[in-house]
């Protein structure tokens, strides 16, 4: 595999960088680079800027408003965006339900939903997990019964990321219980403003409102919002999860955060020297950097294979496992680098130093690290836990 860019690809990279320099809002970049919380406007403004440029969905085919870029250009784009500090856009529209609608939806659904995903007019969330159906997704219980030209939906979804912002939710629902658990599941698109839909916040350890539980009480959904065939939703779910796991790997973001780690370690002192000069700490940083380089090559292989078939396959599980482990390892080293200064949350960071001096402040780079560390523990769980992904690799790739 030749990893050198051609002259045309180098020119393309320069075009992306110039766009980022001119169009990425400075306040948004500051938040991303420093690990601070983003709000809905940060995400939507950036998606709209990409949409105006014609880059709203880099992985979509041109006929549906995408760029038609090959995997090399997609990778160049994502790396440049991550390095510049652009927001990691919520994947639910462009990377998850969008590809499902493109692959399995009818023309009316494609014309209705895809343009509004691109323009950020519609914000989507994902209705997969339930209180008793997480990694074992096939055990989901939320029901949808057909009544004339509607499905009537009852049940609950949980851990629904950013549902408080969402206009629409794509849901796996049970439409038949007579066969195996994977059978009888359908894929529905539900307007969040429909009577009977209730969003309740789940506040995480760091005080953020990022996830929710969503209740459905006698919610009427038009039959036209069924994607594909009734009871075939498990096929569409597996297709979507392959795209989600590839995205969770977050290679561009990991490369940016690795540089942030190096900057922090160059600032922090250990026995009068920069922490990055400590042989043991430097060895840990080097190990992660080597693993990240190997993961990047693996990602290119998976993406290249994806262009010749409909879904990433079991290779996406490899990316998900190693990508999430690397992101967690980087955040752990950041916390180690600042030591006890990582203890405060956002709200406490500028109040006092460890001596109790109310006039002192903690290092600015230390403020978000504890919250970030705790939040990233979820990466190895959602999208199918890493233990489940290892089983998929063992069965599908190793033949065990």
Query: Going from the N-terminus, what domains does the chain have, and what CATH number goes with each?
Result: 7-89 (no CATH), 124-232 (2.40.110.10), 249-396 (1.20.140.10)
Q: Burial of 220 by CB count in 10 Å (0-12 exposed, 13-18 middle, 19+ buried)?
A: middle
Q: How far is the C-alpha of 170 from the C-alpha of 277, rounded, in Å? A: 49
Where residue 166 falls (left for φ over 0; alpha for ψ -120 to 50; beta otherwise) is beta
For 22, the token pair is 């001119």
Q: What does the pLDDT profile of the chain (400 residues) look like in tens digits?
A: 566 788 999 999 999 999 999 999 999 999 998 888 888 999 999 999 999 999 999 989 999 999 999 888 988 999 999 999 999 888 899 999 999 999 999 999 999 999 999 999 999 999 999 998 877 888 999 999 999 999 999 999 999 999 999 999 999 999 999 888 889 999 999 999 999 999 999 998 777 899 999 999 999 999 999 999 999 999 999 888 766 666 677 888 999 999 999 999 998 877 778 999 999 999 999 999 999 999 988 887 777 666 665 555 677 888 889 999 999 999 999 999 988 888 765 544 444 444 444 444 567 788 788 888 988 888 888 877 888 888 888 888 777 6
- Give the per-residue pLDDT at 318: 85
Q: Give CA–CA dist 130/213, Å, rounded.
A: 9
Distances (CA, A) of 36 to 31, 81, 218, 287: 5, 17, 39, 27
What does the alpha-carbon distance between residue 376 and residue 88 come to, in Å, rounded to a whole number?
A: 14
Burial pattern 66-77, b for ≥16 Cβ within 10 A else e, equals bbebebbbebbb
Quote the DSSP letter at residue 6. P
Spatial distance between the Cα atoms of 104 and 100, rounded to a whole number of angstroms: 6
- Position 355 scores a pLDDT of 43
Residues 6+ apart with CB under 8 A from 69: 58, 59, 77
Buried b (16+ CB within 10 A) or exposed e, 361-386: ebeebbbbbbbbbbbbebbbebbbbb
What per-residue confidence (pLDDT) applies to 309? 58
Q: Are 327 and 310 in contact (CB under 8 A)?
A: no
- DSSP SS3 for 382: coil
């Amino acid at each position: 595999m030749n990893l050198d860019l051609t002259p045309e690809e180098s020119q393309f990279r320069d075009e992306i960088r110039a766009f980022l320099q001119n169009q990425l809002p400075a306040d948004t970049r500051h938040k991303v680079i420093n690990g601070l919380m983003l709000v809905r406007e940060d995400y939507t403004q950036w998606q709209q800027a990409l949409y105006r440029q014609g880059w709203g969905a880099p992985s979509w085919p041109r006929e549906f408003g995408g760029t038609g870029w090959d995997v090399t250009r997609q990778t160049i784009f994502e790396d440049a965006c991550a390095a510049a500090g652009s927001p990691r856009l919520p994947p639910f529209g462009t990377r998850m339900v969008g590809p499902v609608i493109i692959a399995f939806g009818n023309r009316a659904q494609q014309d209705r939903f895809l343009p509004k995903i691109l323009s950020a007019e519609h914000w989507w969330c994902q209705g997969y997990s339930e209180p008793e159906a997480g990694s074992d997704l096939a055990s989901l219980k939320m029901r949808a019964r057909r009544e004339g030209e509607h499905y009537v939906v009852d049940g609950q979804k949980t851990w629904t990321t950013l549902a408080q912002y969402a206009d629409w939710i794509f849901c796996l629902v049970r439409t038949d219980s007579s066969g195996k658990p994977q059978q009888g599941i359908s894929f529905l698109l539900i307007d969040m403003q429909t009577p009977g839909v209730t969003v309740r916040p789940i506040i995480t350890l760091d005080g953020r409102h990022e996830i929710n539980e969503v209740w459905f009480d006698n919610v009427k959904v038009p039959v036209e919002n069924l994607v594909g065939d009734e009871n075939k939703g498990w096929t569409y779910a597996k297709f979507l999860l392959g795209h989600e796991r590839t995205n969770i790997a977050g290679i561009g973001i990991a490369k940016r955060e690795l540089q942030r780690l190096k900057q922090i370690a160059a600032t922090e002192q250990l026995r009068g020297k920069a922490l990055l000069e400590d042989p043991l700490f430097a060895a840990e940083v080097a190990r992660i950097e080597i693993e990240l380089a190997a993961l990047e090559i693996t990602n290119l292989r998976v993406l290249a294979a994806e262009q010749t078939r409909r879904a990433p396959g079991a290779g996406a599980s490899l990316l998900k496992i190693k990508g999430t482990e690397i992101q967690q390892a980087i955040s752990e080293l950041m916390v180690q680098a600042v030591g006890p200064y990582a203890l405060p949350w956002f709200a406490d960071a500028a109040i006092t130093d460890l001596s109790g001096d109310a006039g002192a402040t903690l290092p600015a780079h230390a403020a978000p690290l504890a919250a970030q560390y705790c939040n990233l523990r979820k990466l190895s769980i959602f999208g199918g836990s890493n233990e489940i992904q290892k089983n998929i690799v063992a069965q599908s790739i190793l033949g065990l």
